[in-house]
Amino acid sequence: ETGVTQTPRHLVMGMTNKKSLKCEQHLGHNAMYWYKQSAKKPLELMFVYNFKEQTENNSVPSRFSPECPNSSHLFLHLHTLQPEDSALYLCASSQAGIATDTQYFGPGTRLTVL
Amino acid sequence: DQQVKQNSPSLSVQEGRISILNCDYTNSMFDYFLWYKKYPAEGPTFLISISSIKDKNEDGRFTVFLNKSAKHLSLHIVPSQPGDSAVYFCAARTGNNRKLIWGLGTSLAVNP
C-alpha cells in the first residue's frame, strides 16, 4: 500500500449504530487530519493530530471521537449520528515542521446516516 | 462568511487551449496558497502552491499567479488536456497554522 488509505470506502449506518472509520498513511508523516466534505460546502477541518497528540478540534460534536494510536493510524469513532452527518470524510497526512507542509489525502469514506 | 471564494462552479475548455481557474480571498493574513485537484472517488491531490512573497510559481503546464493587492490568485493550465478534467480547489493558510481554508472548487471539463 502506498499513500493514504481509508476504510471503508462506503458506509451506511443508522442513528443508533456505532461504527469506526480507519485511516492509514504509508508516507512516514507525523501529522494526520480528519476533514468533512458536505454537499455545497467547503472542506471542513475536524481534527488535527501532531505526533499522536490532538492539536486541534474545530468544535466537532462529541458523537465524533477521534483516536490516533500512532503516527501512521487514525480512527474516527462514530456513535448516535444524525442524518445531517452524512458526508464524505477525508483523512490526510503531512510532514509537520517543514515550511510547505503539504497535506496528502486518502480517497475518503462516503457516509450515509439513515 | 467564506474567506476563500471560487466563484465559478464550472469551466469548460477545448483541449490544447488555456484553462484559467480563479480564486479570491478576503483574509490579508493568508501567506501560503495551494491548489488541489480532485477526481471522482478520490481524495484531493496537491497540485501546486505559492508563498505570498512570490507572485508566480510554475511547474510544467501549471502556473499559479498571485495578486496580493487584489487578493486574487489564478491557476493557468496550458495546454489543457482531457486528463485535467477534475474539480480544482484553492486553499489558503496563515503562518504556521496547519488549518487550511478551502474554496468550494471549480469543476473543469477539457473537451477533446
Give me the pLDDT at residue B71, please.
97
Q: How far is CA B16 from CA A107, B13, B83, in A?
A: 29, 9, 12
Percent of chain A with pLDDT over 90: 71
**Regarding predicted confidence, which is higher, A69 or A57?**
A69
CA dihedral B1, B4, B6, B7 (to 10 degrees): 40
Question: Cβ separation of A108 and B100 shorter than 8 Å?
Answer: no
- A94 and chain B: CB distance < 8 Å anywhere? yes
Percent of chain A with pLDDT over 70: 96
Give me the pLDDT at residue A98, please.
62
pLDDT band, very low/low/confident/very high, at A1 (cuts 50, 70, 90): low
pLDDT at A100 over 70: no
Question: Cβ separation of A45 and B99 shorter than 8 Å?
Answer: yes
Which residue is closest to B2 within chain A, CA to CA?
Answer: A42
Chain A CB contacts of B101 under 8 Å are 42
What is d(CA B63, CA A94) in angstroms, rounded to the nearest whole number? Answer: 23
pLDDT in tens, chain B (112 residues): 789 999 999 999 999 999 999 999 999 999 999 999 999 888 999 999 999 999 999 999 999 999 999 999 999 999 999 999 999 999 998 876 678 899 999 999 999 9
pLDDT at A72 over 90: yes
What is d(CA B23, CA B103) in angstroms, rounded to the nearest whole number? Answer: 8
CA-based nearest distance A95→chain B, Å:
11
Mean pLDDT of A26-52: 90
Closest Cβ opposite residue A42 in set B45, B49, B103: B103
The 8-class DSSP code of residue B93 comes to E
A106 SS3 class: coil
Is the Cα torsion angle B68, B69, B73, B74 positive or negative in sign?
negative
Nearest to A44 by CA among A102, A112, A97, A90: A90
